[in-house]
Structure 1
Amino acid sequence: MASTSTVTTLTIFSFVFFIELTVSQQISTVDSECTGRWIHIRTLPSRFNRDLLSTCNHYPLTDDLCPYLANHGLGPKTHTRTRSWYRTDPLLLELIFHRRILEYPCLTPDPNLASAVYLPYYAGIDSLRYLYGSDVNSSADHGSDLLSFLTQDSPEIWSRRSGHDHFLVMARPAWDFSQPLTVDPPIWGTSFLERPEFFNLTALTLESRFWPWQEQAVPYPTSFHPHSLPFLESWIRRVRRSRRTSLMLFAGGGGTSSTPNIRRSIRLECTNVTETEPETLSEKIKTCDFVDCSNGICEHDPIRFMRPMLQSSFCLQPPGDTPTRKATFDGIIAGCIPVFFEDQTAKMQYGWHLPEEEFSEFSVTIAKEDVVFRGVRIADVLMSIPKEEVARMRERVIEMMPRVMYRRHGASMGLMNKKDAVDIAIDGVLQKISSRG
């Protein structure tokens, strides 16, 4: 078996080769379908992207990311024969997005023709040295090197719109890049998004704050990256016919302290509920199923939670250390209706991918205060929803599935015609930039 360092080296060189090959083939002829949609990929020195991949195992306080660099950031396959299921680490979204945007049909080598400029900077990976490494006391400097490059190398590209037409992906919550520049000693996070010079660019983050203009949350990558339309359609058929033998499911950790909080309430309810027998079924179903994902044991093992999600009608999505959850999107992939306990978990985050005005059509919201302090039982609320309404909501969840998945790079043309999370993010970026005039 090859060593981790050897696999990492091969992954990096494979990725570099593809980037150089694709960039050299960027479209240079004007196409009417690309009017207003041209994107220029800014050529950055390797220290801003590929060199950072060699640090994938440098920070002992974090997981070793090296194994998950495989397949251009999708990670290793869950089993040898699959072409659509991977052990994906969400922190490698920057790598996934970079590989995918190289297939965007409206790329131009001329920045003067571009409506948007993509910065292939792996900000989340670079932030690790400030969060966990030797530069922890210099976290206010995060972004200074990138800014120097943008303002000194072909400065007219950056200055023509003061960065308004630039965008990048930051595969961490925005809070991790929001340390005030003047805090001494430093607290958690870097100051990248607090730099006034970057206030104009668009940052695609896994979780956004609700006030800054420049931030927009995009879905966490799941382990599902279909390679063809027939496979996606086959998976959807499986989701539709799956027997939902549990009313609700919580896949997660936490909730073990004595302090009142929503995760503790969920654990207590799931532990104390009894089986209930619906009138239309001869066999009993569980009221609540629980998959303990404590200590990160589910992070790269989708088999642990995908099957229970396929067997549950509702997936509980309580906030944790931060409001948002990757499990929200895992559940949607499984056709499991999400149950939210605060709007910041998804409704106020993913407006491009999960339109706010449609939220009640595919999800349930129960105020966490009602559960924690007012004695509301989650199961009672969910059992009160008519079966016809549950079936309709599940169908809407299935319709949302393509919007939140990240299809595999090099996918078949049929699947490429169905917009996924990257396509919708690009559409949103272009609209956001054009709205600024």
Structure 2
Amino acid sequence: MACKTQITSIFFSIKFHFFLLSIINSASSQQILNTESTTNRTTTEDCNNRWIHIRNLPSRFNLDLLTNCSEYPLFDDFCPYLANHGLGPKTHAKSRSWYRTDPLLLELVFHRRILEYPCLTDDPNVANAIFLPYYAAIDSLRYLYGPDVNSSFQHGMELFDFLQSDEPGIWKRHMGHDHFLVMARPAWDFSQPLNNDPPIWGTSFLELPEFYNATALVPEGRAWPWQEHAVPYPTSFHPQNLAFFEAWIQRVKRSKRTTLMLFAGGGGIGATPNIRRSIRNECENSSINNNSSRFNVLENNVMYSKICDIVDCSNGICEHDPIRYMKPMLQATFCLQPPGDTPTRRSTFDAILAGCIPVFFEELSAKMQYVWHLPEEKYAEFSVFIPKEEVVFKGLRILDVLMGIPRSEVRRMRESVRDLIPRVMYRRHGSSLGLRTKKDAFDTAMDGTLQRMRERLANILAR
């Protein structure tokens, strides 16, 4: 019986893998057709300085890696979230724009979207940028959680060897300065020094001299970015046409903001002083006084019913369930974005999507990260900054800071946040022409990457 069960399990696994690859491969064929039809509508003049060549990599660097989606016991099974080319399954059967998106699959989302980029070229010699469709973060799982944990310094070397042996002139033309890839984990996870013995957390991909010249698009960069550049975490909102997008914008505008400030996240329950603990303490000790003029009308004759609300997202329960936190965010004026294990948070982009003004506690959480998508000079227009040291060690109350902002300023900030929504969302692949007129997170990332390439190559030629 045990043998029969094992054979059945193996058969199911093989069947699933072939099913997965057949879907991806057939979808890729359709993507190429869509790409060709899109490219035909774009003139050469429109694509001046915007040509991208997609490097043809063996499937072991991308599609084959997806068949291991349930192979790492220490890491969550991400097989259910491969649907819809990495957007994940819909939140419910009738959902039109909302998906259970896993941030790890940003590499699939970019790969799918770049296949319909209007300025693709088969000739690498005329390309302004070369895209490497390598699923680096997914491949890193075998070093972080799998059997290759003690050889994490080798992460990326197989790819580099391929680039040197297969049409090496593509890489050598600019020594990798015109190459870019997406890595769907914080840069810290790829920054283990090569000489660490024994190895600690992370792989050494970004420490390899071989890839110093390439550009990595990551959801979080280091404080001294050279190789990497931060792009937004994917939210769960992926509209496919202009009507769905505009319907969401109208919902954001109509939302009654009955909560002053909201924190959606985990942590802050230990004894060690930190910003999350301070937030929890302040929320738990706050009480509303409806007779006080300080808490009267915010806008639309709505009064605050809560000073602070907490959506407990401990143990990752919110990651694939946007219903848990999006409605509370729609009802909140300010969304608190304290750093956790790393400075950045996906919640920042969920908050912007809900029209909730983000409140940052350190500059590396966003201001020093997403300069293409959230311009540094405009942070005061759409966000609030409160140094975490002032809150944790000097007793500054977040409530006092936020209540000190004039209501007219709050309304203006909310308008600025709404203006940012297209720039931080990833629209669904194959979206309507009307929606494509609004540049989303992918479009903005491509513009930034191409500009980065032009500046780098200009500096090289000027030497």
* 8 Å Cα contact 2:219-2:232 kept in structure 1: yes
Do structure 1's residue 14 and structure 2's residue 23 form an aligned pair? yes
Residue in 2 aligned with 1:99? 112
Change (3 A) 1:305 1:7: farther
Matching of residues 296-375 of structure 1 within 5 Å: 296-375=316-395
Residues 19-418 of structure 1 aligned to structure 2 (within 5 Å): 19-23=28-32, 26=36, 31-277=44-290, 278-280=295-297, 283-418=303-438
| Change in 2 beyond 3 A, CA 1:8/1:241 | farther
Give the TM-score normalised by the residue count of structure 1.
0.97
Q: CA deviation at 1:17?
A: 2.3
Amino acid paired to 1:249? L
Shift of 1:83: 2.2
The CA distance in 1 between the partners of 2:78 and 2:429, in whole Å, is 20
Q: Secondary structure at the match of 2:140?
A: helix
Number of residue pairs matched? 435
Asked if 1 retains the 8 angstrom alpha-carbon contact of 2:265 and 2:311, the reply is yes
CA distance in 1, matches of 2:122, 2:321: 40
Contact 2:183 2:217 in 1 (8 A): yes
Could you say which structure has the larger radius of gyration? 2
Q: Deviations over 1:313-335 (max 9, x none)?
A: 00000000000000000000000
Letter paired with 1:205? V
Q: For 1:6 and 1:411, how far apart are their aligned partners in 2?
A: 31
Does the 8 Å CA contact 2:51/2:121 hold for their aligned counterparts? yes
* More moved, 274-283 vs 200-209: 274-283
Q: Report the Cα distance in structure 2 between the residues aligned to 1:212 and 1:42, rounded to whole angstroms.
A: 24
Distance apart, 1:21 and its partner CA: 4.6
Structure 2: which 5+ residue stretches go unaligned?
1-11, 459-463
Identity of aligned residues (%): 66
1:7, distance to aligned residue in structure 2 (A): 6.0
Q: Classify the secondary structure of the residue corresponding to 2:117.
A: coil
2-structure distance, mates of 1:255, 1:86: 29
CA RMSD of aligned residues (A): 1.6
Contact 2:80 2:88 in 1 (8 A): yes
The alignment partner of 2:245 has SS state of helix
SS of residue paired to 1:435: helix
User: Structure 1 residues 308 and 21, CA, compared in 2 at 3 Å: closer, same or farther?
Assistant: closer
> So what's the TM-score if we normalise by structure 2?
0.91
Verify the 8 A CA contact 2:259 2:331 in the aligned structure 1: yes
The offset of 1:389, in angstroms, is 0.5
CA contact (8 A) 1:4 1:67 kept: no
**Deviation at residue 182 of structure 1 after TM alignment:** 1.0
For residues 439 and 343 of structure 2, what CA distance do their matches in structure 1 show?
Answer: 26
Deviation, 1:230, is: 1.0
Distance 1:5 1:309, change over 3 A: farther
In 2, the alpha carbon distance for the partners of 1:193 and 1:303 equals 36
Q: CA deviation at 1:216?
A: 0.2
